[in-house]
């Protein structure tokens, strides 16, 4: 369960939550810009990797295998396709964002289950919040709403919701751990050692 216990690492959780809240605010404030911009940036990254790989092939001494040429060509084609026609790929990106939110919900639920095995019982509200995030991700994946802008606002709300609830859950669980005389070390829950001294 260490992979789930690590979700309660204070520094990592704060950074993750802040980044998701900022991303969520960006999605909410710029719903018209975000989908195509996201696709265009992704295409630029893929194309950049493809160009760098191509230049490496030209300057390298060792000739790569045929599959490497195929991967190179694929990255160049995909990168250009994303940049030239970002609107066409927006629907696929929305599904990916929905999957991302669903995975955040699953991760939150799995973390709660993982922490409960240590004897610390999370509240039912924390399970409900994780389930709501999972539902929102699935809802976005199946796209019952036609408007991309509305979906982007929902994604933004989901990111903000996860960021805030993740912080609240983190503080609540760590407070319970401290009260129970435990703490998290290297992704495992350990008892706090007390050194007894004689006066």
pLDDT in tens, 149-167: 888 888 899 999 988 988 8
- Dihedral sign computed on CA atoms, order 80, 24, 103, 10: positive
* Residue 196 predicted with pLDDT over 50: no
Annotate 21-32 with b (16+ C-beta within 10 A) or e (fewer).
bebbebbbeebe
DSSP 8-state assignment for residue 193: P
Q: What is the reported pTM?
A: 0.65
Confidence of residue 198 (pLDDT cuts 50, 70, 90): very low
Confidence of residue 25 (pLDDT cuts 50, 70, 90): very high
Q: Measure the CA–CA gap between 14 and 167, rounded to whole angstroms.
A: 7
Tokens in use for 183? 């703490």
Position 144 scores a pLDDT of 61
Position 5 scores a pLDDT of 47
pLDDT in tens, 106-121: 888 887 887 777 667 7
Helix (H) or strand (E) run with residue 188 in it: strand 188-191
Q: Measure the CA–CA gap between 81 and 147, rounded to whole angstroms.
A: 23
Residue 195 vs residues 175, 176, 192, 198: alpha-carbon distances, Å: 22, 22, 10, 10
Domains of the chain by residue range:
2-35+89-191
Taking only Cα atoms into account, the Rg of the chain, rounded to an integer number of angstroms, comes to: 22
Q: Measure the CA–CA gap between 150 and 105, rounded to whole angstroms.
A: 20
Residue with tokens 């290297």: 186
Q: Is 79:48 a contact under the CB 8 Å cutoff?
A: yes
Position 184 scores a pLDDT of 55
């Amino acid at each position: 369960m260490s992979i789930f216990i690590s979700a309660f690492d204070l520094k990592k959780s704060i950074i993750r939550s802040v980044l998701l809240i900022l991303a969520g605010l960006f999605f909410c404030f710029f719903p018209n810009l975000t989908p195509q911009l996201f696709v265009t940036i992704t295409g630029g990254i893929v194309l950049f990797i493809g160009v760098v790989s191509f230049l490496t092939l030209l300057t390298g001494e060792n000739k790569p295998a045929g599959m490497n040429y195929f991967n190179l060509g694929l990255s160049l084609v995909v990168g250009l396709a994303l940049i030239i026609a970002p609107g066409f790929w927006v629907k696929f990106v929305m599904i990916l964002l929905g999957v991302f939110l669903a995975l955040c919900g699953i991760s939150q639920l799995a973390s709660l289950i993982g922490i409960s095995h240590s004897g610390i019982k999370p509240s039912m509200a924390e399970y409900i919040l994780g389930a709501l995030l999972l539902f929102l991700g699935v809802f976005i994946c199946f796209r019952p709403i036609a408007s991309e802008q509305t979906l982007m606002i929902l994604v933004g709300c989901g990111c903000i919701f996860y960021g805030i609830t993740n912080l609240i859950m983190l503080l609540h669980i760590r407070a319970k751990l401290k009260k129970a005389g435990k703490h998290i070390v290297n992704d495992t829950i350990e008892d706090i050692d007390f050194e007894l001294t004689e006066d």
